[in-house]
Structure formats: structure tokens, C-alpha cells
Amino acid sequence: MAKQQEQKNDNKKQQKNDNTTQKQKQNQKKQQKNDNKKQQTLSSLEFKYKNGDRFSFYRFYDDMLLYIKEVDSLNDDEGFPFIECIRVDANKPHTMFQSQNSEDPALYNRIMYNESKNDYTSFLKHKSPESSMAKNGISQKQLDDLIVWSSYYPEQPKFVFFDWDETLSCLPGILYHRNQFIYQGTKYKFKDDDILCYLLGGKNRLTRVSSVFKTLHNNNTEIYILSNNNTLVKHEEFFLRMLNLLSPKFKKKHLLPSRNTNQNKKEAFTKYFFKSHKESDIWRNRNLSGF
């Protein structure tokens, strides 16, 4: 009888050990999967730089090929540091449209109103029910790649420049009426965070972009907005307040209004950024290559 009980206890102990081992294997498999995903992104950059590409301390993102080519032309001038110009696919619809009729012009405003019933979405639903078709903006893959890029040369400052409309934002332009607006007898009070959430495609995407910005700043990377957006010029204070919701490190110097240079982003780069950085250490290290 004692031997049977002892055998039973041994079996229970073995079963417990087997369960623990199985759980450890599952955790290891999950961790390996995550590590492989990170390594794929890292390896793509390492492969790129090991095969002769120069590491650039400057990156520029825009959805329009015209401006990508315009800024890229600065690389023909040896007096400028190398700028890596990356195009964002603005033709890709917002992910929220994947299971719905993306041809419905009122769909975005209706979705955003249902997600956040605030004065801004209520105002847009009634005044401008037919919104511009929302785009996906900069992709998650591009954001992941950007984070990896920013992790290189931690002792060196790096700079990333974003277009606003349909790149960081999911929409073209900003419908802004200062802090409040009266429409058909109803008073609407607008909050900066409600407007930002609407422009960036909802709470989930807003959280992702904010998290990426925090990582970039932690990785010694400054973030600039290079945009033709008219609100950046006419309501600069509001635009800066809105950006500070994404990151408190944004200052006026991080706004580069290419609308003031006849929408020429190459000229805006030169006028608002490069002239003031020409004597910096990072400028002198412009030919530094990775690996």
C-alpha cells in the first residue's frame, strides 16, 4: 500500500515537471519568434549597410514622390550631408476600412464619431459628413525600421523629418476653428487631443506613434515636421500644442513650414534647418559609414 502511494506521488511529481517543461518550451518558442522578427528587421539594415550603402544620420519621409525627389536632389551637392529619403504609401486605405465599404465618403467621420463622441467628431459629423478618404500613412513596418535605425550610433545625434498630411496624419489638411465653433445654433468646444486623435486615425494609432516618438528621442534622435500644411503657418501655436501631446520635446524649431518657401521642401530644408546646423559635429561627420 505504501509503495502504491509512493508510486502515485512520483507520478504526480513527474506530471508536474512535464507540465513545467512544456510551459517553458512554449515560452521559449514564443520568445524565439519575437527575437526572429526583431532580427529580420535588424538584419535587413545590417545587410544594407554591409553591402555598401552609407549610413545616414538624416531621414525624410513623405507620401509624395515629387517631394521625395526634390529633397533627394540635395544628395547631389557635396556640401550637404547624405539624406535617406523614404516614400510613404499614401494610396493604401486606412486599416479600419478593410472590412467595410471604403468608397463611402462619410465612413471615416462616422467611425471616428462612434469611437470618440466628443465635440470635434460631433461637429465634423454634422458639418462635414463627407470626409476625405483616410489613408494609412506611415506603415507599422516603416516605424519598426525607423526604431532600429535610430538605435545605431547612440552617441551621435540623428534627425528624422516627417511630412504631415497623409504621412503622420491619415488625412489631407486640418479643419481647425480655434477653440470653439458655433454651427446651426450649437456651440462646439474643440480640444487639442480630440483633433490629434482624429487626424492620426484613432486612439490605437495615436498611441503607437507617440510610443515611437518616445523611443526615437531616447535614441538621441530629433524629430522635425516638414510640411506644406497651412495650419502649421496660420495656427503655429495650436500645431505645436498638438505635437506636444505626442512628445513634450517638440519646440518651435522643429516646425519647418515649406508653405513659406512656395511649397519647395528642398528650399525649406536649406533655409530652416541646414543653415543653422552647418557647423555642428554631426555635419562634420556626414561621411561616416556604418559597419
**Which pTM value belongs to this model?**
0.76
pLDDT (0 to 100) of residue 89:
84
Q: What is the pLDDT of residues 56-65, one digit of tens each?
A: 889 999 999 9
**H helix intervals, the chain:** 2-50, 65-72, 107-115, 119-127, 140-150, 192-199, 203-218, 230-234, 236-246, 265-268, 275-277, 281-284
Q: Is 13's pLDDT higher than 80?
A: no
Could you tell me which residue, 49 or 189, shows the higher pLDDT?
A: 189
Q: What is the tens place of the pLDDT at every residue in 67-95?
A: 999 999 988 877 778 899 999 987 776 66
Top pLDDT among 198 and 27 is at 198
Q: Given pLDDT bands bounded at 50, 70 and 90, which one contains residue 289?
A: very low
Grid cell locating 18: 512535464
Q: Are 86 and 60 in contact (CB under 8 A)?
A: yes
**Distance, CA of 192 to CA of 39 (rounded, Å):** 38
- At 147 the pLDDT is 94
Q: Is 118 in contact with 191 (CB distance < 8 Å)?
A: yes
If you average pLDDT over residues 110-126, what whole number do you get?
Answer: 76
pLDDT at 143: 93
